[in-house]
Chains A and B, each alone.
Chain A
Amino acid sequence: MIMQISKLNLLALLLMVFIGACSTPVTRPDNAPVMTAPEQPATPSQPQGEVVPPQAVAPSAQPLPAPPSRTYTLSAATAALVNQAHAQVTAKNLMVAASTIERALRIEPNNPLLWIEYSQVRMSEQNYYQAENLARKALMLANGDPHAQSLAWRALANSLRAQEKSDEAQQADARADALMPK
């Protein structure tokens, strides 16, 4: 925990240097309209993967500050389509529900919430392998948004459990729980 805090401090400091220098060589493009800039863009997301210990031989280059976190929501258009898809799933009209989610994905292809919805349609179809892959795709896109990440981990856990991969499912659930805002 202490390690993490000091790392955060370091990153925050590095960011200040950046702001001071006022020149980043690579300009990040504007985010898609569904993403809103958070209050404090400097907050780096907590590293999720395995952290390889830094090389101890000589001072190595610092990681750049993590990109600003993202918050994914559904726009009015995609929310309407998701509602429509839910009704179609309830009516057991699964082929059409999938096509409705694809309509929404055409509008916001990078929105992990829609990929999670798609994973759920595949779950209803008992197509668990596709449900898993779609959840993995959602997970990849959700990086930077803990809430979306948590939902994606949960969708992944459900698809894994349905395939009787209970150990993996449990781990995915644990990731989902850890990210869920208290």
Chain B
Amino acid sequence: MKVQLKTFFKKYWPHMLAVMLLPILLIGLWVLQLDHLITTQFEGRRWTLPAKVYAQPLELYAGESLSINELQTELRRLGYDQVAQVTQSGSYQLLKDRINLVSRPFRFMDDNRPERVLTIAFNGDHVRQLWDNKGQDIPVFRLDPLLIGSIFPVHGEDRIIVTPDEVPPLLPAALKAVEDRRFDSHIGVDPLGILRALWIDIRHGHFDQGGSTLTQQLVRSYFLNNQQTLSRKITEAVMAILLEAHFDKADLMNAYINEIHLGQDGDRAIHGFGLASEFYFGKPLRELQLNEIALLVTEVRSATYYNPRKHPERALARRNMILDILAHDKLVSVDDANRAKTMPLGLINGSSNASNYYPAFLDFVRRTLHRDYKDADLTEAGLTVFTTLDPRVQKRAEDALTTELNRLDKAARRKNESLEGAVVVVSSHSGEVNAIVGGRQVNYSGFDRALDATRSIGSLAKPVVYLTAIQSGRYNASTIVNDVPVVVKLSARSTWAPENFEHVANGPVPVVRALSESLNLATVNVGLDVGVDKIADEFTQLGLGHKPDNNPSIILGAVNAAPIDVAQLYETFANDGFRTPLRAVRAVLDENGKPLQSFPLQVSPAADPAAVYQINRMMVDVVQRGTAASAKARLGNLMVAGKTGTSSDYRDSWFSGFSGSHLAVVWVGYDDNSPTRFTGSAGALPVWTQIMTGIDTTSWDEPLPDGVTETMIDFDTGMGVTPQCDPDGLVVAVPQGTQPQMKDGCNTAVESHQQ
């Protein structure tokens, strides 16, 4: 038996050795594979970086209409700290008539600008002068722009990468003190730490202590999922040891700081301390104070359980406990820790942070970029996107829409439905979109009415009809047209008999009255005379994305368009007949700050500037004495041009109009397209007026084009008048030499002067 066994061993020992060595070999292979994974994936350490999206920067210059309070509001929006003496970037000092600040370093398209010390002196509501710390006069200065969001993949990670010099030294020290005391000496795993955690857990009777090293946490977050299985624990430990073998501690700490999950914003996962700092405090990581650093360290343990917005007491308690640890470990003084413990959480509120970014505007940005970039470019390549959003205009538009809709809802007295609305504001000469509001829940990224609610534009079509008429050479503002009933034969069996809003026909009226009082019958008569096909062409010429049907009803606005389409259409009026594609993006830079693409201003002639001027002059009268006259008092000295729009049965309430520098389009209605009870002037106009009076804009004051003259006419008859015989006369613009005949009893101005 013994001999047999011996021969067996003799005969089979190589096989047995193989059986014994196989697991070791397999484990070796597995470790090699993990090692390969770590070296390939972690070596270059390239996180996928969502594109960062910035608002337009605030320009500061002498003579600018900007008060000291307004600048302070802007600095707060940017997360600048008010301090007694400015020393670090992102801080400002408020004095009686000036602000001292240290700007943040920022990489613009044309300038990688370091931080700058700056004084801005004010004179009432204007900037008087700017100078730097050497007393050098600065003619114009850009503040760093507001980060308004990032383009992250669906259910994906968002982060801002920070380099070690952007990290306050206290942060790594605090992480070590709280999460991993032996980080500097262990080999990736810490058996003592695990035993200690186990001991505490057993004593407390529940599993609470992590015991994972920072390296293990990094491995878990970077390479693995969050399942708590034994095999995963072993893999994690092995990979942690391998990581430590390949990389030094400082490298791993920086990776940890950029990797770890610190919050959730809907589908958006907040990763890394760089983004968390913006997400919770609205400022860069390097500017954080002691209490703020302690709160971020709080979130490491569980960003859900200690979510400071949902569970402020829990977060505060743990933050203060962490402050105690820091004081105990002599990382900060006891006094500093106690002072920090008295501080509130200090979270930025919803309306001004990167988490409640501007969904409707970003929607437009994303659509613009998707024309030129693949999804992966936007969500992974670390692009920087400079946009045209003006946070001040956006805020005003959001506030105006929500307050007016609340008021209108009360007036509408409907229990189960609330009105909706949308706003688009554009810089009229450049086509830059300054603000988009997609609905009354301004931070909700659902249905974007500004871009997708295509509704009947109603009387907003009338300026297009009259522009076509004036360009035909047969009409001007004083031309008499017939506001009389009309029946249009559409086919063998159907006819169209439009009516005036007031169900009254006014007979002969001048064009300016037909437009400013939005008379349907007169407009239909003019439209049929100049030709429906010509009007349809004019719509596309002016910039409507699609050609309307060749149907007479387009004269009264049976044309479906979203507010953004209306903005493009009216942009051509506001821009003197030049068409400028609306833009939300100025430039895109690559990861290294190199410009990839700019979206420059483009203009092309779309309509005769002289004809457009004549229409615009009449749209001034819409506000002066037409359907929008209710806004006149609130507008004060601000000269604007615009048009009300009400679709059939009051389903849509519109106002589209412009000042000298801004165009705004407002739509109000119900999502289910039911009637609203509101005309354009009752629903949309108050929103529009509130926006225009709340932003820094200038009066409409275009120079009179060649070949056009201003003359005074009687609003009812269109006959020429003088201020003497008709104090109520109306100034219109007409082609030179086409002035109307004088009204009976109104002699020429010269004669009346001689009387």
Instruction: Tell me the A residues contacting B by CB distance below 8 Å.
Output: 10, 13-14, 16-18, 20-21, 23-33, 47-55, 57-64, 66-67, 70, 75-81, 88, 93, 95-96, 98-100, 102-103, 105-107, 109-110, 118, 130, 133-134, 136-137, 140-144
Chain A residue numbers with a CB within 8 Å of B64 are 77, 107
Chain A residue numbers with a CB within 8 Å of B595 are 95-96
Contact A32 B706 (CB under 8 A): no
Residue of A nearest to B719 (CB): A61
Q: Which of A59, A79, A137 gathers most chain B CB within 10 Å? A: A137
For chain B, residues 58 to 80, give those with C-beta under 8 angstroms from any C-beta of chain A. Answer: 59, 61-64
Instruction: Indicate which residue in A13, A61, A130 contacts B713 across the interface (CB closer than 8 Å).
Output: A61
Instruction: Indicate which residue in B109, B707, B724 contacts A50 across the interface (CB closer than 8 Å).
Output: B707
Contact A63 B736 (CB under 8 A): yes
Contact A47 B736 (CB under 8 A): yes
At the interface, yes or no: B3 with Cβ under 8 Å from chain A? no
Provide the bound-state CA to CA distance between A134 and B752, in Å: 45
Given A47-B706, A50-B707, A67-B703, also A33-B63 (CB < 8 A) = yes
At the interface, yes or no: B730 with Cβ under 8 Å from chain A? yes
> Can you give 25 A-B contacts (C-beta < 8 A)?
A14-B750, A16-B753, A29-B660, A30-B699, A48-B707, A52-B735, A52-B736, A55-B737, A62-B749, A67-B703, A67-B710, A70-B703, A77-B59, A77-B140, A80-B139, A96-B110, A99-B110, A99-B587, A105-B430, A106-B430, A110-B701, A140-B576, A140-B577, A140-B578, A144-B704
Contact B737 A61 (CB under 8 A): no
Q: Mark B574-592, 1 if CB is under 8 A from A, else 0.
A: 0111100000001100000
At the interface, yes or no: B742 with Cβ under 8 Å from chain A? yes
4 smallest CB-CB distances across A and B, nearest first, come from: A61-B720, A49-B707, A29-B699, A52-B737
For chain B, residues 669 to 702, give those with C-beta under 8 angstroms from any C-beta of chain A. Answer: 698-702
Q: How far is the CB of B545 from chain A (nearest CB, A)?
A: 21
Instruction: Indicate which residue in B598, B661, B724 contacts A21 across the interface (CB closer than 8 Å).
Output: B724
Instruction: Tell me the B residues contacting A by CB distance below 8 Å.
Output: 59, 61-64, 109-110, 139-140, 142, 427-430, 432, 575-578, 586-587, 595, 598, 600-605, 609-610, 620, 624, 637-639, 660-661, 698-713, 719-724, 727-731, 735-742, 747-750, 752-753
Residue of B nearest to A84 (CB): B110
Given A58-B741, A70-B703, A106-B427, also A137-B624 (CB < 8 A) = no
Contact B723 A107 (CB under 8 A): no
Provide the bound-state CA to CA distance between A26 and B703, in Å: 15
Provide the bound-state CA to CA distance between A134 and B580, in Å: 11
Contact B139 A79 (CB under 8 A): yes
Chain A residue numbers with a CB within 8 Å of B110 are 88, 93, 96, 99-100
Number of A-B contacts (CB under 8 A): 217
Contact A137 B603 (CB under 8 A): yes
Contact A25 B712 (CB under 8 A): yes
Chain B residue numbers with a CB within 8 Å of A14 are 749-750
Given A31-B701, A62-B711, also A25-B730 (CB < 8 A) = yes
Contact A24 B723 (CB under 8 A): yes
Residue of A nearest to B746 (CB): A61
The binding surface of chain B is classed by DSSP as loop
Contact A64 B703 (CB under 8 A): no
Residue of A nearest to B625 (CB): A25
With A52-B736, A53-B737 given, can you name 17 additional A-B contacts, CB distance below 8 Å? A17-B722, A25-B727, A25-B728, A27-B637, A29-B638, A64-B711, A66-B704, A75-B62, A76-B139, A95-B600, A99-B109, A99-B587, A100-B110, A102-B586, A110-B698, A133-B604, A144-B704
Chain A residue numbers with a CB within 8 Å of B748 are 59, 62
Provide the bound-state CA to CA distance between A138 and B577, in Å: 13
Provide the bound-state CA to CA distance between A130 and B604, in Å: 8
Contact B63 A75 (CB under 8 A): yes
Provide the bound-state CA to CA distance between A70 and B725, in Å: 31
Provide the bound-state CA to CA distance between A77 and B138, in Å: 9
Instruction: Indicate which residue in A51, A64, A102 contacts B600 across the interface (CB closer than 8 Å).
Output: A102
Contact B600 A63 (CB under 8 A): no
Contact B750 A17 (CB under 8 A): yes
Instruction: Indicate which residue in A25, A49, A61 contacts B711 across the interface (CB closer than 8 Å).
Output: A61
Chain A residue numbers with a CB within 8 Å of B577 are 140
Residue of B nearest to A70 (CB): B703
Chain A residue numbers with a CB within 8 Å of B703 are 67, 70, 140-144
Q: How far is the CB of A115 from chain B (nearest CB, A)?
A: 9
Provide the bound-state CA to CA distance between A14 and B600, in Å: 45
Contact A77 B737 (CB under 8 A): no
Contact B710 A64 (CB under 8 A): yes
Given A48-B707, A61-B740, A95-B598, also A109-B430 (CB < 8 A) = yes
Given A27-B637, A99-B598, also A109-B429 (CB < 8 A) = yes
